[in-house]
Amino acid sequence: MKLSKKSITLFGAALLFATTALAGDTNKGTLNVSDDVRVEGQTLKPGKYTVEWNGTGPNVQVTISRGKNTVVTFPAHLTEEGAKNQQPAYGSATQPDGTRALTTIYIAGTNAVLQVDQSAAAQQSANQAAK
């Protein structure tokens, strides 16, 4: 009986460590911002950020953090490029008011590309303006 309990305990611990190891390196990357860019009404100032996304399929929820502080969370579309991104990068577009809006995030070392869901962002901005 003692052997059985020890076996179950060891198996459970091994399973826990394997699950933690797998979860630790997925869906995460860095973003180096060189100019002010806006996303979901928040301005990302120049600096280094952590990008993390959750979800299955092409529709994901992205969280951008600086240090331990979450800066912004927004919907995006996850796509893949043919070749791995060599370094973290982002795309932006000039808005009518002259600000730059974040449009795309390229995750270094992966084929992952996060495209900001512009329709959801526009809808949320319109809802905020109406309040």
Task: Read off the pTM.
Answer: 0.71
- Read off the pLDDT of each residue in 93-121 and give the average, rounded to a whole number: 89
61 versus 5: which is more confidently predicted? 61
- Distance, in Å, from the CA atom of 127 to the CA atom of 131, rounded to the nearest integer, reads 7
Please report the pLDDT score of residue 119 as a whole number. Answer: 60
How many distinct helices (H) and strands (E) make up the chain?
2, 9
Please report the pLDDT score of residue 128 as a whole number. Answer: 43
Q: 23: pLDDT confidence band, cut at 50, 70 and 90?
A: very low
Amino acid of residue 91: G
- The enclosing H or E element of 11 equals helix 2-24
Average pLDDT, the chain: 80
Please report the pLDDT score of residue 6 as a whole number. Answer: 55
Task: Outline where 25-131 has alpha helix (H).
Answer: 118-130
